[in-house]
Structure 1
Amino acid sequence: MPTTNEKSAPDTADAPSERYARGLAVLQKIAGTERPAVLDALAGIAPDLGRFTVEFGYGDIISRPGLTLPQRQLATISALAAMGNAAPQLRFHVDGALNVGISRREIVETFIHAGVYAGFPAALNALTIAREVFAARKEAGDADAGPIAPATPSEPGTTRYERGAEALARIDGHAGEAVVASLQDIAPDLARYLIEFAFGDVYSRPGLDLKSRELATIAMCTALGTAAPQLRVHLHGFLNVGGTEDEAVEIITQMAGYAGFPAALNGITAARAVFDERAQSR
């Protein structure tokens, strides 16, 4: 795997105007308009912040290789939903997710998934924003804007506990099983809820593949900044279901723009520990 330094070494020939043009092109694709509203919103009070948003947020970060644009939008709406403190930005990025090919079902599933990691209020607030975005697009003539049917777990015929235990073992492996074992002497019911609800009810739902669920979880746990042990577990999970170390680093790096550099730096520390642990066990 290339080192972080190799991937992020500055290009001294890359002038600010080139960074801006590159970032603006990506921002226009996400916004679905030639003149994204953020530029005018900041023009009268902090035009430099508008420029930094385009140059750094989109020209440096979102334009990086390693993740597709839909994957990056999924990471962004996951983090913003979990943090729960940026409704206007979440609204913009839900619309942007639709513009780059993420389905309404995938957005809804992402926000249901957020209920496990950020709580039901965060999930409910994110879904309220999603409903507003979907409704606005329907009024604008979006043909794909009908009601979303309820989903059922993808493995019918099993109990919630059986379904959850199988999913936990398949996704998070030994790291997840160790979490459950650590709860048995103090909160066995919490361990059961973790298996039945988080993995039996939520992870087993259709509409979002396992790699996308773990991508969303890494973004959420990094952005929250309060879940380092859980982030390590789900970094293992992401790698177990087909994610790569490079992709994990990209998800965490992107969080610098949405949750701040301390959250991203702490996330990278967790990733380093997981990568070293897996390397030693090979």
Structure 2
Amino acid sequence: MSHAHPTAPSRLSEGLDVLKVIGGSAPTPLEAVSDIAPDLARYAVEFAYGDLYTRPGLTLPQRQLATVAALAALGNAEPQLRFHIAGALNVGCTRREVVEVLMHTLVYAGFPAALNGITAARAVFAEHPAAPGPPEASDAPAASGPATAGASERFARGLRALSEVDGHSGQQVVDSLNDIAPELGRYLIEFVFGDVYQSTGIDLKTREMASVAMCTALGTAGPQLRVHIHGFLNTGGTREEAVEVITHLAAYAGFPAALNGSTAAREVFAARDAA
């Protein structure tokens, strides 16, 4: 008995159904570029939404948060970022979750990327007043001055979070800086893990999923991607979910980024098996 692959019309139909759930009444890629590149529009619907979004392994809210994280980190696709922020709200993500993922971007792509992402979110929120959950202020512990007792508390708090999330892999990164830029290592512990990771707007697993998505999309952070694949697994993510996040990024960062991410995942899995 032969097993025929889904026909093009069925993939297109499935993709349009998913796109309607995510995009609501927003213009679809078919409408946006059908006059100049109709095949590109069809590929976007069939592959991104008909193939990738219908795969098991991640929920639609997870896929949307990973997409928002990746697009915000890339910083070169504001219309698509706005579309997927709205899409995150449409599939049940809260404003707080979206804001936290965008704030998390500053760790991996810098403050400009995070600020631009927040600006995009503000515009989307104004268009979606009924979206669930207000963008509450972060409840992370307040930072103290570098010469106060609070600074040592931030460092200790950051070390605990670093150990919980990234374990030995994270400590290796910090230790590797001791001979060249020890202050950078301290900032990583105090600011990244002592401040940013302490906010409770999203859980640690979601933060690490966003980190994997950003590092995969950027394509310039192989060692850090491996650390955060470890971190994703350490905080409750599965190998299947990690691979699915990376595979999903083929639509938004390209196949080379997804292929390199898959190679990194294979190395992490092998290292954990060996250990």
Tell me the CA shift for residue 32 of structure 1: 1.4
| 1:78–1:147 distance in 2 versus 1, CA, 3 Å | closer
| 1:188–1:226 distance in 2 versus 1, CA, 3 Å | same
Q: Which runs of 5+ in 2 are unaligned?
A: 143-149
Amino acid at match of 1:54: V
Of the candidates 140, 161, 167, which is equivalent to residue 161 of structure 2?
A: 167
| 1:67–1:50 distance in 2 versus 1, CA, 3 Å | same
| 1:23–1:233 distance in 2 versus 1, CA, 3 Å | same
Of the candidates 18, 37, 61, which is equivalent to residue 70 of structure 1?
A: 61
Are positions 1:22 and 2:14 aligned together? yes
Amino acid at match of 1:31: G
Amino acid at match of 2:22: I
Are positions 1:184 and 2:178 aligned together? yes
Structure 1 window deviating more from structure 2 (142-151 vs 127-136): it is 142-151
Structure 1 window deviating more from structure 2 (40-49 vs 189-198): it is 40-49
| 1:167–1:31 distance in 2 versus 1, CA, 3 Å | same
- Find the counterpart in structure 2 of residue 271 from structure 1: 265
Task: State the distance in 2 between where 1:247 and 1:149 align.
Answer: 29
Amino acid at match of 2:217: A
Number of residue pairs the alignment of both structures matches: 265
- Find the counterpart in structure 1 of residue 147 from structure 2: none
Amino acid at match of 1:91: R
Q: Which runs of 5+ in 1 are unaligned?
A: 1-10
Are positions 1:242 and 2:236 aligned together? yes
> Are the counterparts in 2 of residues 153 and 206 from structure 1 also a CA contact under 8 Å?
no
* SS, match of residue 176 in structure 2: helix
Length-normalised TM-score, structure 2: 0.93
Length-normalised TM-score, structure 1: 0.90
| 1:265–1:147 distance in 2 versus 1, CA, 3 Å | closer
Q: How does 1:38-53 map to 2 (within 5 A)?
A: 38-53=29-44
Task: State the distance in 2 between where 1:229 and 1:193 align.
Answer: 18
| 1:204–1:146 distance in 2 versus 1, CA, 3 Å | closer
> Are the counterparts in 2 of residues 30 and 99 from structure 1 also a CA contact under 8 Å?
yes
Task: State the distance in 1 between where 2:101 and 2:189 align.
Answer: 19
> Are the counterparts in 2 of residues 29 and 100 from structure 1 also a CA contact under 8 Å?
yes
* SS, match of residue 57 in structure 2: coil
* SS, match of residue 36 in structure 2: coil
| 1:70–1:145 distance in 2 versus 1, CA, 3 Å | closer
Task: State the distance in 2 between where 1:67 and 1:254 align.
Answer: 10
| 1:230–1:145 distance in 2 versus 1, CA, 3 Å | closer
- Find the counterpart in structure 1 of residue 195 from structure 2: 201
- Find the counterpart in structure 1 of residue 92 from structure 2: 101
Task: State the distance in 2 between where 1:216 and 1:62 align.
Answer: 17
Tell me the CA shift for residue 241 of structure 1: 0.5
Spell out, residue by residue over 1:129-181, the C-alpha distance to the aligned partner (whole angstroms, 9 max, x if none).
Answer: 0000011223xxx2757563342249xx9811111100000000000010011
Amino acid at match of 1:25: D
Task: State the distance in 1 between where 2:135 and 2:243 align.
Answer: 36
Are positions 1:220 and 2:214 aligned together? yes
Task: State the distance in 2 between where 1:143 and 1:111 align.
Answer: 17
Task: State the distance in 1 between where 2:189 and 2:23 align.
Answer: 38
Spell out, residue by residue over 1:34-77, the C-alpha distance to the aligned partner (whole angstroms, 9 max, x if none).
Answer: x7432211111111111101100111111100000000001100
Task: State the distance in 1 between where 2:134 and 2:213 align.
Answer: 29
Amino acid at match of 1:19: R
Task: State the distance in 1 between where 2:131 and 2:252 align.
Answer: 31
